[in-house]
Amino acid sequence: MLIKRVLQIAGILAGWLAAREWGAGWADARGAWMGGAPAGSGFESALTAALGAIIGLLAATVVAGPVAARLTQGINRLTSLPAPDLLAGAAGAMLGLAAAALAYPFLSDIPRFGELLAALLALILVHSGVRIAWRKKDELAELLARGGASADEEAEAPRPGEHKILDTSVIIDGRIADICKTGFIEGTLVIPEFVLEELQHIADSSDLLKRNRGRRGLDILNKIQKELDVKVLIYEDPNEERESGDVDGRLVKLAKALGGKVVTNDFNLNKVCELQGVSVLNINDLANAVKPVVLPGEEIVVHVIKDGKEHGQGVAYLDDGTMIVVENGRDYIGSTMEVLVTSVLQTSAGRMIFAKPKVFEKAL
């Protein structure tokens, strides 16, 4: 009913406007024919407009029933369509309108029929856009899904070196947990299953020292997983055969397969990785890098605690554990003294400082 009433009102307005325009044109033509006589009274214009409105109402009433039925049928059909079909049709209609808008400036310049041609072209393009979008909606949906999946895969794809593969020694050492806590380690910490098995085997050892070391390693892993904001991956390769030994070799293979870096404090594993072209993060190298810099010629105060390997040498340690070999320092064991640094030896296994008593320098 609402659609029928709207059509009737539209018919009244259309009839009234058409009759008014026709009446004005007829009055002007009659006035010109009569040699400039008055065009007509306002009553005639109002009567003409009223007659036009009545005719428009009657015409709209005649066509309102079929048109309302067709519109209702079309609306019901649209509501029964799936949402993807509606979206595809709307997208096609928008594309058709966009194409018609691009062509409008050229068509509107055509005399008399330009506006009509532009309207007809808009209808044709909108209809064509809707039909094409409906027929290609499955392919379009597949392309959009594939593009979204590709974007997700690209976002989830690990960057080179993102995986940090831990070996047994660095887990037992425990400093890796403190380093992760500071945020210096980025990416994913990978714990290979064979490393976890080795830790469990050490924790079950009959030797007290080994057992304590293994349990410490397991505690460190538990701390990293539960307390630290870092991603941990327990890696198990289903295609890998069970092997009884050569954990270092398997670590190198895994690092190559994942494109990751091995995290260790094992000097020998460090060398093997370098020979195999695998990137290594050595905890000892990091510890040495952040130690206070000691240069030859500097004076430091040390406490000599034992004798060295060579004759007459004494051994002292800095607060960070760096060993200092003091020449002719054996006679000063148990005492605190000033020494003069002569040289510094830096390796992945650690740092060693060589010095001599300052009293000898003063004597010279």
Q: How much is the mean pLDDT over the chain?
A: 79
The total of other beta-carbon atoms located within 10 Å of residue 329's CB is 25
Domains of the chain, CATH where assigned: 2-139 (no CATH), 163-288 (3.40.50.1010), 295-363 (2.40.50.140)
Q: What is the pLDDT of residue 325?
A: 93
Task: Compute the average pLDDT of residues 85-112.
Answer: 79
User: CA-CA distance, 329 to 326, in Å (whole number)?
Assistant: 5
pLDDT tens-digit map of 145-170: 766 555 455 445 455 558 899 999 99
Q: How many helices (H) and strands (E) does the chain have?
A: 13, 10
What pLDDT is stored for residue 303 in this prediction?
93
According to DSSP, residue 242 is labeled P
Q: Which residues of 78-95 are buried (b: 16+ CB within 10 A; e: fewer)?
A: eeeeeeeeeebbeebbeb
302: confidence class by pLDDT, cuts 50, 70, 90: very high
Residue 68 has, within 13 A of its CA and on its CB side, a CA count of 15
Determine the pLDDT at residue 234. 87
Does the pLDDT of residue 47 top 80, yes or no?
A: no
Overall average pLDDT of the 307-318 stretch: 91
The pTM is what?
Answer: 0.47
- CB of 324 closer than 8 Å to CB of 353: yes
Q: What is the chain's alpha carbon radius of gyration, rounded to the nearest angstrom?
A: 46
Q: What pLDDT, on a 0 to 100 scale, did the predictor assign at position 155?
A: 47
Return the higher-pLDDT residue of 44 and 284.
Answer: 284
CB 318 within 8 Å of CB 301: no
77 Cα distance to chain centroid: 41
For 263, the enclosing helix (H) or strand (E) is strand 261-264
326 band by pLDDT with thresholds 50, 70 and 90: very high
CB atoms within 10 A of CB 144: 10
| Residue pair 324/334 in contact by the 8 Å Cβ criterion | no
pLDDT in tens, 234-285: 888 765 555 555 788 888 988 888 888 999 988 888 888 889 889 999 988 8
Q: At which residue do the structure tokens 């400093």 appear?
A: 175
Indicate if the pLDDT at residue 8 is higher than 70.
Answer: no
Q: Are 230 and 141 in contact (CB under 8 A)?
A: no
Percent of the chain scoring above 70 in pLDDT = 76
**Alpha carbon distances (Å) from 254 to 27, 85, 160:** 98, 49, 14
